[in-house]
Amino acid sequence: MNELVKMIMSKYELFLIVIVRCSGIFLISPFFSSQNIPNRIKIGMILFLSIIIASTLNISIEDLGIPMVILICKELLVGVTIGFISSISVSAFYIMGQIIDMSMGFGMVNVIDPQSRTQVPLMGNFYYMLALLLLITLDGHHIIINSIIDSYKYIPVGEFKLDGDIIYSLIDLISNVFVIGFKLSAPIVAIIFLLDLLLGVMVRTIPQMNVFVIGLPMKIFIGLVIIAATIPMFNAITNGTLNLLIESLYKFLKYFSEG
């Protein structure tokens, strides 16, 4: 214990800088930013991770020649960017659920997400929570922790620079997430669209039929049946999202080593 205190006191500036970078992940990332996790546990994880990382670094903050305020801002941006990439990578399930909700008739139905305490789509929240559970079983949270540790290999302390290429890559990631969300929802949307065509033909054939009374419950029932039937394939979808998460995180980190 005394050796740990001596190490922290001898590297207290570096220790504080490492805390700033690690804290950025716990602000945005999908696993660690949940409001259901007590703040004491979050602070403990940040301190524990920062102690391990600071003990492996052998640099002097004074030798960098960067004002402390600027250095803090740079390190916070690194952590926030990693957290943002990990968060936006799994947001495809929200987009998928939102599109499915509009097709099934749940477009105006929102629920409170227990993690972010915001209103989210009904099926989007279902798919997102299911994806988080599967990602945890696939050690997705370990990947995020490994990325913050590996970030010191690719982005040393004080060398982060936010330029146009990084912004364009983040915009490209967001656009890819929207494309993935549309592709994942396409089969269910296509089947419900065919059901709408069938209802349209039935209305023309039987004008006395009230399509609003029959159509909406039928669309909800068919949609739920399709969702239940496609749940076994959801593991493969989650694996693809995990690969996107890994690719996006390390593409961002390797950009600095290549540059």
Provide the 8-state DSSP code for 37: S
For residue 2, what pLDDT is reported? 61
With a CB cutoff of 8 Å and minimum separation 6, the contacts of 107 are: 101
**What is the DSSP code string of 209-231?**
S-HHHHHHHHHHHHHHHHHHHHG
Dihedral over alpha carbons 165, 171, 174, 175 (to 10 degrees): -110
pLDDT in tens, 231-250: 887 777 777 777 777 788 78
Question: Distance (Å, rounded) from C-alpha 223 to C-alpha 217?
Answer: 10
List, for residues 22-60, the tens digit of each pLDDT value. Answer: 888 877 877 777 777 778 888 888 888 888 888 787 777
pTM, rounded to two decimals: 0.78
Sign of CA pseudo-dihedral 241, 247, 253, 255: negative
Q: Break the chain into its structural domains and give their ranges.
A: 2-258
Residues 72/17, Cβ–Cβ less than 8 Å: yes
Q: Are 35 and 117 in contact (CB under 8 A)?
A: yes
Residue 126 and residue 112: Cα distance in Å, rounded? 11
CA 90, chain centre distance (Å): 4
Instruction: List, for residues 10-27, the tens digit of each pLDDT value.
Output: 567 777 888 888 888 877
Burial per residue of 21-31, b for 16 or more beta-carbon CB atoms within 10 angstroms, e otherwise: bbbbbbebbbb
Could you tell me the two tokens for 244? 């996107």
Look at the alpha carbons of 60, 21, 13, 7 in this order and tell me if their dihedral is positive or negative.
Answer: negative
Q: What is the pLDDT of residues 104-150, one digit of tens each?
A: 777 666 666 655 566 666 777 788 888 888 778 877 778 888 888 88
Q: How far is CA 39 from CA 99, 102, 145, 201, in A?
A: 34, 36, 18, 57
Structure tokens at 92: 């495809």
Q: Which pair of tokens denotes residue 247? A: 């690719």
